[in-house]
Structures are given as C-alpha cells and as structure tokens.
Structure 1
Amino acid sequence: MIHTGIAGLIAAILTIQSASADDLGDFIAQLAPKDPTPVALKPIAKLQEAAMAAISFVGKPYSFGGSNPDTGFDCSGLVQYVLDQSGIKKLPRTSREMYQYSRPVDNDSLVVGDLLFFQTNNSEQVNHVGIYVGEGRFIHSPSTGNVIRLDRLDQSYWQKAFVGARRVLDLGE
C-alpha cells in the first residue's frame, strides 16, 4: 500500500511509531511496491512532481498570457509549464482546451496533480484551471493583480465555480 499526500505520510509515520519491532518488517513490506518499475517512472510520480513544481511558484505574480517563470504565468500557462517540465505530454494552451483534452475523475478519487476546472466570473464555459495538491487544496494563478497561490476547494467561491476534476495521465487503474 503506497500512501500519497500529506495525510498518507502522517498516517504512515504514526503507524511506524506505533508498530512494535516485530511488526516493523511487515509494515515495510507493505510499503514496498510490488511493481519493479522505479517510482520516478510511474505516472503518479510525474503528477506529484508537477504539483510540487507549481507550489514552488507560490507568490509569483499573475501574468495574462504568461507561460514561463521569467515573464510569469496565467492559470493555464502555469499548468502547461509544470506538466511539461515534469515530462508529461504537452497540453493545449487554454483551460478550455485542457478540459476537453483530459478525462473526468470523481472528486473522491482525486490524486495530487489532477486538474481542477472552473467557470469563474459568471462565465458559461471553462475559463480557469488549477492543480490539486491534496487535502482539498489546489494551486493556481488566479487573475490580474493577484499572485500564484494555494486555495481550498471547499471555499464557497470555488465550490460555486467548480466544473469538475480531470486527469491527463492513465494511472493504470
């Protein structure tokens, strides 16, 4: 069993702390992947890498049409850049095209690196995207005058604007 996200890591640490010496070997065996493919080559690792890269840009200013760290990012520019840098196939440029290009995922099946899509400012179509980073949070580049930031999906504004979650890679489910 492989734990993902902060909650999974905390659960694993608590399990280790409460395990007796006899149980520790069994616990480690459970964590060891059965698949010999190195974790870094697995799709989930690429998605997590992209999410971590996005977090590194928190506080950088929004830039309309921006798609690189030197000039700044808009929402889709940030997503496209970090996914591309993580070795994930290049996505279309706009949030609307990203939405069409990716496949739906249930909210209860979200993994770090999944994309979250929104219809903001009373738009009738997808016009905003963020990257899920776990525990109900996502990173995004919101709008002119703002900075790249972490927000909670359960905030009323984002809940009202939320269209759905989508995934760009097949995780072998």
Structure 2
Amino acid sequence: MKALSRLAALLASVYVLSGIHFANADDLDSFVRSRQQVLNQFEDARQPASPALLQPGRAITAAIAPRQPVSSVQSSDNADELISSAMGLLGVAYRYGGTSASTGFDCSGFMQHIFKRSMGVNLPRTSAAQAKMGVGVSRSELQPGDMVFFRTMGRGRISHVGLYIGNNRFIHAPRTGKRIEVTSLSNKYWNAKYAFARRVKKNDPSRFLN
C-alpha cells in the first residue's frame, strides 16, 4: 500500500506537468490501481530485464510486447515506441473529436497522436481513412504495433480503431464515459465487431498505399 501511494504521488507530478488533470485524489488513486491491474495482466509475458530495457519508458513495453526478431515485418523498435507512447496515455478520458492528452481522445485521435509522436507518421483523422493506410495483416499474424479495426455500426464502414499490443490484447479509446484502456480481442463484443488489421511502418512508402 505504501508503494502504491508513492507511485500515486509520482504519477501526480508527472501528469500535472503533462497537462492531464484529475478531479481529486480518488480519481488519481483509481487511475494508478487501474494501470497496475493492466500491467499485472501481462506478468506472464515478462522476460528477464536487461540493463538496456531498464531505461525510462522501456520497462512497460518489455513486459507487454516481448521483442520480435529485427527481421520481422513490424520492427520491434517501432512497436516499442508505439506501445510505450500508448501506455503512457492509459486512463486519459475519451472525448468525441478529441486529439489532445489534456482534453481527451477519440479512437482515431488517439492513433494519430501516438503514431505522430513515436514514429513521425501522419495518419488521417478518421478510423475509416486510417484503415486504408499501410498493408493488410491477417488476424493470425498480428504483431505488436499493428492497428486493429472494427465495425461498431453494423456491416458498414470502419468506425473504430485500436493498437494491438500483443498477448491478444489492444489499447484504445472506447467511447464516451470511458477512458483509454486495454481490452482483449476475445472480448465477446469486440471479437464480433473485428474487421481487419493494418501495419504501418516508419519510413515505409507502403503506408501511403490504399
């Protein structure tokens, strides 16, 4: 409990500096507990940590997405950067049309933000447009860092997007009243709404192909 309190205090200072505000101490405590629960879910995926991984922003990524071989289609460095950036926003409120950590994100605004920040890639504004970027990936070949798309409004156009982080899970900004969270692709609702995945790589011309 003392360790959790110290973590809450540390996160409080970090989020004040980053412009993200919590209404009260209970909200911050809830956020800390929620984040710790998510990280605990990936305990089985942890690998022995090397000194190189114990750098700021690297430990969380190592726990969630064990490194792929450098020759893999989606490089581990790209995935590490994306997931680290995404996990740093865990708990930020959903806001329709939102594109800022200080005021909230919608699903595509969240993707726009992390791809720009971690990879320098400018994604389109909507999930439907983002679904035309990069190259298609089959569900059986998903790798951390791939974008996963959903049809939440029937069989029409793509209406939701998240970032696959490994272990059959993805991080996303779900809907009004929720916060950025990690969800299983096996979840009954999301499994039924799943459409396909796309892979956008840094400095890869294919990211511009429809």
TM-score range, shorter chain: 0.7 to 0.9
Alignment partners' CA distance in 1, 2:157 and 2:148: 14
Alignment partners' CA distance in 1, 2:83 and 2:177: 23
The alignment status of 1:154 with 2:186, answered yes or no, reads yes
Alignment partners' CA distance in 2, 1:149 and 1:34: 28
2:131 match: secondary structure: helix
The alignment status of 1:115 with 2:147, answered yes or no, reads yes
147-156 vs 105-114, which deviates more? 105-114
TM-score (norm 2): 0.60
In the TM superposition, what whole-angstrom CA distance separates every residue of 1:103-138 from its partner, at most 9, and x where no partner exists?
A: 111222211110000001425110000000110000
Q: Which residue of 1 aligns with 2:93?
A: 61
The alignment status of 1:83 with 2:115, answered yes or no, reads yes
1:92 match: secondary structure: coil
Aligned partner (choices 159, 162, 168) of residue 200 of structure 2? 168
In the TM superposition, what whole-angstrom CA distance separates every residue of 1:50-93 from its partner, at most 9, and x where no partner exists?
A: 12211111111101111121111100001110011012421111
* Unmatched segments (≥5 aa) in structure 2: 1-41, 49-66, 205-210
Highest relative contact order (Cα 8 Å, sep 6+), 1 or 2? 1
Corresponding pairs, count: 142
5 Å-filtered alignment, 1:110-149, equals 110-122=142-154, 124-149=156-181
In the TM superposition, what whole-angstrom CA distance separates every residue of 1:19-77 from its partner, at most 9, and x where no partner exists?
A: xxxxxxxxxxxx9x888xxxxxx943123211221111111110111112111110000
Q: Is the 8 A contact 1:75 1:130 kept in 2?
A: yes
Alignment partners' CA distance in 2, 1:61 and 1:85: 19
Runs of 4+ displaced beyond 2 Å: 5-10
Alignment partners' CA distance in 2, 1:121 and 1:140: 17
Q: Which residue of 2 aligns with 1:38?
A: none
Alignment partners' CA distance in 2, 1:125 and 1:52: 29
Change (3 A) 1:97 1:129: same
* Cα shift at 1:170: 7.1
Q: Is the 8 A contact 1:120 1:128 kept in 2?
A: yes
**Alignment RMSD, CA only?**
2.7
* Unmatched segments (≥5 aa) in structure 1: 14-30, 36-41
Amino acid of the structure 1 residue aligned with 2:112: Q
Q: Is the 8 A contact 1:6 1:134 kept in 2?
A: no
TM-score (norm 1): 0.73
1:157 match: secondary structure: helix
Q: Which has the larger radius of gyration?
A: 1
Alignment partners' CA distance in 2, 1:130 and 1:82: 11
Change (3 A) 1:91 1:161: same
Q: Is the 8 A contact 1:54 1:82 kept in 2?
A: yes
Alignment partners' CA distance in 2, 1:123 and 1:166: 18
